[in-house]
Amino acid sequence: MKHEILAPLVGESITEVSILKWNKKNGEAVQAGDVLLEIESDKATVEIVAEHAGALTILKSDGEKVPVKSVIAFIDDSAKGTASASPGAVKAPPPPPSSGSAGSAAPGAKSPPPTPSQSASSAQLESLSPAVRKAVVENQVNPAQIQGTGKDGRILKGDVMAFIASGGARSAPTVSAIPNVQDKPGDRRVPMPGIRKRIAERLVFAQHTAAILTTFNEVDMKPVQDVRAQYKDSFEKKFGVKLSFMSFFTRACTLALKQLPAVNASIDGTDIVYHDYCDIGVAVGTERGLVVPVVRGAESMSFAQIEKAIGEMALKARSNKLSIADMTGGTFTISNGGTYGSLLSTPILNPPQSGILGMHKIMDRPVAINGKVEIRPMMYLALSYDHRIIDGKEAVTFLVTLKDLLENPTRLGLDFT
């Protein structure tokens, strides 16, 4: 009997996935529980495991994009298969070109990357299906002006086209196309991974939909270093995790966010959504790009719980085990560029969040302490924020509050001492 292997449904808004890598060969014998391949969406990487034993027939090869729930291979449990099959997948014939679809281009033509509508909010675009979002962005229309005819008033692609045909106004001028790169000897062209496309899309989206401004301060890290040096051994022995700077910063951020709730809020159309909890996104660098898993309910966590949560998320990120749920729903983000030696940077918002804190490298610098020059371990802090919702006074106050808490760490509630 032949058992079909389907491209998985990895998220409500995901309509297609890419085959990242087959771990088995075409015709190879596989056992139930074997990892067959890795599937990549624009949000996560998922491993597909064999549910049956038999001979594997591969229908879609590495790098191909396939619709979710489509057949990509099958396992024949009546065949033995061989472990010495020729490597590589059977190349499936290319799908026929679509005709009559809105926004289609001539064969071989490259379309410029879509630019998000200046008038559409983050929440508005994120709530649309990929096809509708693409139509809205490419045609520069405001979805708030479109009457949806789908279930529960959802906007369909036909609604967008009908709106444009009826003379619907564009919300912003069309951006000029970026000239194509002409390959020269020594150039090497490879497809952009799905996760990198998603990162690029969200960064551009943030730049076009938020009024991003960055403010800076610096903090003397000696008090935190002293506490960490005093308790790191007993902390690790008691809780089984290391005491890092991240738990100090996460705790400090949750306390500062309670005092400055706008920094923890989001904009949805003409509404401000305040969050009475702190789901902190922690940016983690991986070989395939930057991902931001979320530590939920950080405001009620102990130092040990924060360290364990961050450690688990970082491990999942670096082993490509993060789920979509792990990376959605954050209210504020912390990015530590200092891990790579960055002295100063201006981090970009992670929509629909309104604030992101950038940590940087700790460097010994001369500073004035009580009228005398001393060498202290100093760190620059950067807060990028959405000026539509956060005023300069609130942003500066947030950083000053962080500085005060970190330079007086007993105010953090050191529950491990």
Q: CA torsion angle for 294, 298, 301, 302 (degrees, to 10)?
A: 90
What top-level class would CATH report for the domain 114-172?
Answer: few secondary structures
Please report which helix (H) or strand (E) contains residue 374, including its range.
strand 372-386
Which SS3 state, helix, strand or coil, does residue 38 take? strand
112 confidence band (pLDDT: 50, 70, 90)? very low
> Domain 2-76, CATH 1.10.540.10 — does that match?
no
- Whose tokens are 């790098």? That residue is 63
Per the prediction, the chain carries an average pLDDT of 83
Task: Tell me the pLDDT tens digit for each residue of 252-305.
Answer: 999 999 999 999 999 988 899 999 999 999 998 887 777 889 999 999 999 999
Quote the CA–CA distance of 357 and 347 in Å, as a whole number: 7
Known catalytic residues are 387, 391
Quote the CA–CA distance of 284 and 231 in Å, as a whole number: 26
Topology, domain 198-412: Chloramphenicol Acetyltransferase (3.30.559)
E strand segments, 208-339: 212-220, 266-268, 271-273, 280-282, 284-286, 289-291, 294-295, 332-336
Quote the CA–CA distance of 203 and 145 in Å, as a whole number: 25
Please report which helix (H) or strand (E) contains residue 131, including its range.
helix 130-139
Sorted by where each begins, the domain ranges of the chain are 2-76, 114-172, 198-412
Asked if the model's pLDDT at residue 344 lies above 60, the reply is yes
What is the value of pTM for the model shown? 0.63
Whether omega for the bond prior to residue 347 falls within 30 degrees of 0, making it cis, is no
How many alpha carbons fall within 13 Å on the CB side of residue 215? 16
Say whether 198-412 and 114-172 share the same fold. Answer: no
Task: Tell me the pLDDT tens digit for each residue of 364-416.
Answer: 999 999 999 999 999 999 999 999 999 999 999 999 999 999 999 999 999 99
Cβ-count burial of 173 within 10 angstroms (0-12 exposed, 13-18 middle, 19+ buried)? exposed
Average pLDDT over residues 56-61: 92
